[in-house]
Each structure stands twice: as C-alpha cells, then as structure tokens.
C-alpha cells in the first residue's frame, strides 16, 4: 500500500488548495470561508452526504463504499483553524490576513483530508462508510468536543476515529506514533495576589505583592521537583507577571500571575491543581497578602487506543516503506482527545522535514508531505474496511 499513482498525480492540485487556505487563515470557530470551500468540494467530489454546522462551523462528509454490508464506519479528522501570529515566511502564498497565519499546518491537514475524500469518492474500494470530519477551533476552542457534543459520533455511527498532525524535525513522509498517553492535558490558571500598595521608598508601610508573587513563582516549581513522582510528567509554567502600575516608584496593590499546567495522568492533574491552590494560599498568607485563583480545565490527555495504534502504524509503514517511530509523549495539547474519549482510534505524526517549529512565525507546511498524508488516510480506510 505505497503512495498510489493517482494520489501522486493529485499532489499539485491538493497543494494549490493548501496554499489558498494558507493565504486566507481563519481563527477558532470563525472558519466560514474554509468550511464553505470544504463543503463545496465535498459536494463536487460526489460525497453521499455533506453536512455543515456540526460543532458550529464544522463540516462532515459521508462516503459509502461499493459495498456497505460490513456495517463498518470509520471517521477521519482534520482541523481547519489558524493562529493569531504575524507571519514571517515571506512565501508567495503568505497570509493576507494581518496578525493571523497557519502556523501549525492545519491548512495542510485540511487539504490532505480533502484529497483523500476525493480519491475515496472516486474509487469507493472499501466495504463500509468513511466519515470525513473537518473540525474548527482546535487551537484552544475545543472544537472537537463541540462536534462530539453535537452528536456527531452517534449520528453517523462512527466506530473508530483517526487523525494526523505534521511534525517538523521528522523527515518528510516519516511517521511516528505511540500507544497510550500521547499529548498532555492542558490546564491554565490565573492568580491575583493582593497586598497593600504604597511608595517604593517606604516598603515597610506596604505588603508588597511583587515580593509575594516572586516567592510564589519559585514555590510553584517545587510541584515538579518535590511533589511529583520523578517518573511521572508534570509541567508548571508561569508565563505572565503583571501589575497595574508601570511607575518606578510605586509598589502596586495587586499582581496577576498566569500560567499553564501539563500532565499525562489524571492523578498528576489533580495533584498539580491541589498543590497550586495550597502553595498560593499559604504563600500569600505568610506575607500578609491575600490570593484568588481562577483554574480553567483545558483539553484532557490525548491517549491512543492500543489496537487502533497498531492499525495506524501498519498502514503508515506500508505507505512510507520505512519503520514507524515510537516517540515519547508530547506535553503539547490536542483536542482530538475528546474524539478518542468517545470512540477507539489513534493519532499519528507525519514528518514535515527541516522546517521551523509549529506555532513559529516562520513555519510553513511542506507540500511534499501531501502524497504520504493522503495515502495514509486512504490506506487506513481501505485496510480497516477491505472490499468484499
């Protein structure tokens, strides 16, 4: 099941779709142009059913095989949204929308799944039904959960679901995967330390929230170094330190800290939240300040299912002709986690070559990835639902 000749022939057309999406990036659920193009192309391909508005702006296409007697239904998912980043690629197809760019390759994911839909609608060489899922708001909006909450899995009786993400640093077309926890849970917090402000020349008349906050930032690092099992992963990062004053001679009344927590297990997730709350409360109290915490639970751990990981890796090896790497867990988040909580399935990485990292202003999807990615989507559908 190597790259199919027809898919290789389609590469320039799919690359053109991808570059058009790249020029016109859209954020979160506001992917109206992208979703409209996706839906129209699916109709043009002859999909048996095309439904818009699933998960606000998500699109679902249904492709039935020559036979459907097996009753099997496989879901294939791609994300459509971009990021609020100023592009620095200098590419001819660079973003035309100021401050927004496809810095994570979702333009490539969408184009590859469209290519797979076109091929599958032409050939229908499988016994069952393929449901192609185009999802909005992966970048922080939880679009995967919203599509599931809209009843997508039940409406089309999806039995297994698979997704793919490009990976800079891996050779183009090389695949990588792992069973079990793969991407981390992504929680966020904001902490407001309130002291007693005053003149910087008279600190004894104040309760300085900057000093309290500095101690708290250091104390929070002990969650990983002293509270967590050294063999288990947890990241606690304070990423913002703000006061309401910019004056050099003013001790502020409040300081706000913001940050993120990444974990791979429910127990560690609960431990991190509990320790952040305790350390914040008691550190503030020790200096005579007060603290309030806002905790926001983010995406859950994205965990691949064992059997489906084997299926995904087998097809990837056949497509690439190379060993599929088993990689360590990643502490980034991925809202495909919600779909894997609903149905068994797996998520795989495909190499994007020696490019800038995702979420970097100089990142761009490598169009040479397209034949491998499309072939994996197609090969997975055909392998999981072989024609009678």
pLDDT at 219: 98
Q: Are residues 106 and 29 in the same domain?
A: yes
CATH number of the domain within which 378 lies: 3.40.630.10
**Which of 299, 319, 348 finishes a domain?**
299
Residues 6+ apart with CB under 8 A from 97: 24, 25, 26
Q: How many domains does the chain have?
A: 2
pLDDT at 230: 93
3-state DSSP assignment of residue 235: strand
Residues 6+ apart with CB under 8 A from 136: 28, 29, 30, 31, 35, 55, 56, 57, 58, 79, 80, 81, 143
Q: Are residues 334 and 294 in the same domain?
A: no
pLDDT at 5: 82
Q: Are residues 39 and 161 in the same domain?
A: yes
Q: What are phi and psi of 285, to 5 degrees?
A: -65, -35
Q: Are residues 166 and 193 in the same domain?
A: no
Taking the C-alpha atoms of residue 241 and residue 38, their distance in angstroms, rounded to an integer, is: 41
CATH number of the domain within which 224 lies: 3.30.70.360
pLDDT at 2: 66
Name residue 261's beta-bridge partners. Answer: 187, 236
Q: Are residues 113 and 234 in the same domain?
A: no
DSSP 8-state class, residue 104:
S
Q: What is the per-residue pLDDT across 56-93, written as a single tens digit (0 to 9) for each?
A: 999 999 999 999 999 999 999 999 999 999 999 999 99
**Which of 248, 269, 299 finishes a domain?**
299
Q: Are residues 274 and 329 in the same domain?
A: no
Name residue 296's beta-bridge partners. Answer: 188
Q: Are residues 241 and 102 in the same domain?
A: no
**Which of 270, 299, 328 finishes a domain?**
299
pLDDT at 6: 86
Q: Which domain holds residue 103?
A: 5-183+302-384
- Using alpha carbons, select from 301, 312, 77 the residue that is nearest to residue 176: 312
Q: Are residues 146 and 15 in the same domain?
A: yes
Q: Are residues 194 and 309 in the same domain?
A: no
pLDDT at 245: 85
Q: Are residues 168 and 108 in the same domain?
A: yes
What are the Cα distances from residue 251, in Å, to 27, 138, 191, 196, 318?
38, 40, 18, 8, 64
Tell me the pLDDT of the chain (388 aa) as tens digits. 566 788 989 999 999 999 999 999 999 999 999 999 999 999 999 999 999 999 999 999 999 999 999 999 999 999 999 999 999 999 999 999 999 999 999 999 999 999 999 999 999 999 999 999 999 999 999 999 999 999 999 999 999 999 999 999 999 999 999 999 999 999 999 999 999 999 999 999 999 999 999 999 999 999 999 999 999 999 999 999 999 888 999 999 999 999 999 999 999 999 999 999 999 999 999 999 999 999 999 999 999 999 999 999 999 999 999 999 999 999 999 999 999 999 999 999 999 999 999 999 999 999 999 999 999 999 999 999 999 7
pLDDT at 17: 98
Q: Are residues 210 and 106 in the same domain?
A: no
Using an 8 Å Cβ cutoff, are 366 and 167 in contact? no
Q: Are residues 262 and 337 in the same domain?
A: no
């Amino acid at each position: 099941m190597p790259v199919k000749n027809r898919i290789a022939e389609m590469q320039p057309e799919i690359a053109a779709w991808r570059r058009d999406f790249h020029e016109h990036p859209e954020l979160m659920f506001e992917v109206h142009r992208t979703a409209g193009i996706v839906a129209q192309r699916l109709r043009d391909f002859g999909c048996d059913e095309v439904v818009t508005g699933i998960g606000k702006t998500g699109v679902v296409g249904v492709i039935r095989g020559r036979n459907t007697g097996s009753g099997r239904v496989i879901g294939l998912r791609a994300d459509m949204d971009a990021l609020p980043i100023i592009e620095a690629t200098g590419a001819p197809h660079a973003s035309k929308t100021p401050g927004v760019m496809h810095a994570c390759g979702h333009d490539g994911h969408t184009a590859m799944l469209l290519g797979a839909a076109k091929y599958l609608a032409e050939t229908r060489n499988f016994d069952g039904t393929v449901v192609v899922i185009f999802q909005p708001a992966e970048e922080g909006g939880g679009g995967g959960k919203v599509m599931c909450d809209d009843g997508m899995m039940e409406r089309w009786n999806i039995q297994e679901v698979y997704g793919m993400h490009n990976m800079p640093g891996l050779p183009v077309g090389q695949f990588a995967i792992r069973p079990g926890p793969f991407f981390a849970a992504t929680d966020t917090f904001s902490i407001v330390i309130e002291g007693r402000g005053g003149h910087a020349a008279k600190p004894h008349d104040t309760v300085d929230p900057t000093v309290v906050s500095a101690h708290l930032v250091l104390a929070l690092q002990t969650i990983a170094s002293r509270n967590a099992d050294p063999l288990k992963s947890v990241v606690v990062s304070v990423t913002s330190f703000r006061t309401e004053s910019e004056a050099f001679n003013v001790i502020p009344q409040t300081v706000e800290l913001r940050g993120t927590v990444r974990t791979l297990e429910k127990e560690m997730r609960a431990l991190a939240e509990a320790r952040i709350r305790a350390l914040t409360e008691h550190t503030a109290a020790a200096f005579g300040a007060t603290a309030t915490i806002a905790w926001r639970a983010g995406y859950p751990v994205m965990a691949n299912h064992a059997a489906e990981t084997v299926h995904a890796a087998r097809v990837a090896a056949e497509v690439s002709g190379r060993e599929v790497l088993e990689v360590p867990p990643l502490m980034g988040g991925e809202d495909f986690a919600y779909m894997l909580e609903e149905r068994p399935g797996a998520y795989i990485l495909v190499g994007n070559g020696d490019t800038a990292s995702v979420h970097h202003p100089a990142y761009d999807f490598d169009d040479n990835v397209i034949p491998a990615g499309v072939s994996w989507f197609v090969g997975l559908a055909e392998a999981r639902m072989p024609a009678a």
